[in-house]
Structure 1
Amino acid sequence: MAYEIPVTQARAELADLINRVVYGGERVVVTRHGKPLVALVSAADLRRLEEEQDTTEEPVVSAVSAVHAVPPAPREPRFGIAAEHRGTEAR
């Protein structure tokens, strides 16, 4: 679980937060008005995230390369819609 901290407090405690991430193995989420803005993670965590992203993109590429042309669907009959404007006096 990540440690959350408001941006104003994170600004004042940046050196301590970096130490918590690097040496304590923590992940820190910096928030503004309670909403997450950024996350501080170790360089090793970032490397793992990037490697995972690279491996998850590969099957998509191979799946897209396997796509072939599909014949068009047969034409469906067209139905018209008729409307008549009667004006306000017809009510």
Structure 2
Amino acid sequence: MAYEIPVTQARAELAELINRVVYGGERVVVTRHGKPLVALVSAADLQRLESDEVAAEAEEQIVRTVSSIGSITSAPGERRRFGIAAEHRGHDDRDD
């Protein structure tokens, strides 16, 4: 859990907050009127967050690519070529 501090207090204690983040491994959330405004995280945390973001974007692109491939229709004659023997026939197509 992150340490929360009001923006007015954070201004006065910025150097100390930076030390807590860098050397103490803490995350600091600066608030205004009790609502989160910004967060102080270490450079290592930021790098990890950014690499996670890049990985998520790449994964999303892969899903979009695979999804679009799945929507391609079969080429003519493919059913016979791959041994699919049955086809649906309507009532009018019966061989009686």
CA distance in 2, matches of 1:53, 1:43: 15
AA in 1 matched with 2:17? L
Task: Give the unaligned 5+ runs of structure 1.
Answer: 72-91
Residue in 1 aligned with 2:79?
Answer: none
Task: Give the unaligned 5+ runs of structure 2.
Answer: 74-96
SS in 1 for 2:26: coil
CA distance in 2, matches of 1:16, 1:59: 39
CA distance in 1, matches of 2:22, 2:59: 33
Over the aligned positions, Cα root-mean-square deviation in angstroms equals: 1.6
AA in 2 matched with 1:18? I
AA in 1 matched with 2:23? Y
Residue in 2 aligned with 1:78?
Answer: none
Shift of 1:65: 2.2
CA distance in 1, matches of 2:63, 2:9: 46
Shift of 1:70: 7.7
AA in 2 matched with 1:36? P
SS in 2 for 1:26: coil
1:19-58 alignment, distance < 5 Å = 19-58=19-58
Instruction: Report which of the two has the higher share of helix.
Output: 2
AA in 1 matched with 2:34? G
Identity %: 69
AA in 2 matched with 1:8? T
SS in 2 for 1:55: helix
1:4-83 alignment, distance < 5 Å = 4-66=4-66, 67=68
SS in 2 for 1:29: strand
Cα deviations across residues 11-63 of structure 1 (Å, max 9, x unaligned)? 00000000000000000000000000000000000001111111111121012
